[in-house]
Structure 1
Amino acid sequence: METNYTAPSQTHIGHVHLKVSDLDRALEFYRNLLGFELTTMYGENAAFLSAGGYHHHIGLNTWHSKGGSPAPRNSAGLYHTAFLYPARKDLAEILQRLIDEDYPIDGASDHGVSEAIYLRDPDGNGVELYRDRPRDEWEYTEDGSVKMVTQPLDLQDLLKELS
């Protein structure tokens, strides 16, 4: 296979569609906790949600998974879905919401190019909530690659965005 093809620079991931075991429980997480808007129900077994009026960023369905167990962690599959917030204050707001709702957080990292909060949805699917730093703050290695790190994210400093 040729390796000289490059996807157009404006290409981005349009949506993620997840199999869930309980649609109401998944809606409680993605709509009520994370704040995505329900755009449509597809029968009784699927829902589509978005931010900002797009047709859908998240699809949820129980077509083949109703009442099922979470996917095994030690097998191939989705590692996490990442939701990019437009500003640091927005990331601070969702962090405060998670704290207020006593929702468990798996971790939080400063990756140099971004700041991220990690958690799991009710079906055990990994979720990353993050914001990118401006590109002029990114660091690069000698060969021109983006320098990414995994350092602890100072959550108290992030929450200062709210004051």
Structure 2
Amino acid sequence: MEPYTVPSNTRIGHVHLKVSDLDRAIEFYCGLLGFELVTRYGTQAAFVSAGGYHHHIGLNTWYSKDAPPALQHGVGLFHVAILYPTRKDLAVIFDRLHKAAYPFTGASDHGVSQALYLNDPDNNGIELYWDRPKEEWPLKHDGTIEMYTRPLDLQGLLKELE
């Protein structure tokens, strides 16, 4: 088979998650994270989005109603990454989650981005992040991207709100 490269403007459009309790998932994604409920398919599925898109996140209980949380040590989704447009937007959601006492699993500076990590009520991993401008991405001597994982300065992040 000949080598193939996906087109450079290709994007991941949405994710569809199996959840055990649809109302609880809607409360997390809409009530806490602030996504908009676009539509429900009865009691088994819902689509949520940012900015009126048809859906960024699908939620369903088709095969998972009342199921136990996702296993941490098993195959499947590691996390869904939600990209915020500005560092201030990331600070706003951090402040909101912190005030709600919602538990974080991590907070990292990756050089190219800054990220907050948490799990949804079904133990699906969630990354909330902001990308630094491409011209600020650190590079190795050979010109490739230098990504790393360092602690995120959360107090510095909160200064975005001043």
Fold match (TM-score > 0.5)? yes
Tell me how many residue pairs correspond in the alignment: 162
Offset of 1:126 from its aligned partner? 0.3
Partner of 1:38: 37
> How far apart, CA to CA, are the structure 2 residues paired with 1:74 and 1:144?
35
Deviation sequence 1:21-67 (CA, Å, 0-9, x none): 00011011100000000000012110000001000000000011000
Q: Tell me the residue number matched to 2:18.
A: 19
- 1:57 is matched with 56
Write the distance in 1 (CA, Å) between the matches of 2:114 and 2:72: 24
- Whole-Å separation in 1 of the counterparts to 2:144 and 2:80: 24
The residue identity in structure 1 corresponding to 2:141 is E
Quick check: 1:150 aligned with 2:127? no
2:34 partner letter: G
What's the TM-score once normalised by structure 2's chain length? 0.97
Q: How far off its partner does 1:145 sit?
A: 1.7
Separation in 1 of the partners of 2:71 and 2:88?
A: 34
Aligned equivalents of 2:105 and 2:74: distance in 1?
19
Partner of 1:111 in structure 2?
A: 110
CA offset digits 1:122-157 (Å, max 9, x no partner): 000000000000011011123322110100000000
Name the SS for the 1:17 alignment partner: strand
Is 1:92 aligned to 2:94, yes or no?
Answer: no
Could you list the runs of 5+ residues in structure 1 that have no partner in the other structure?
Answer: none
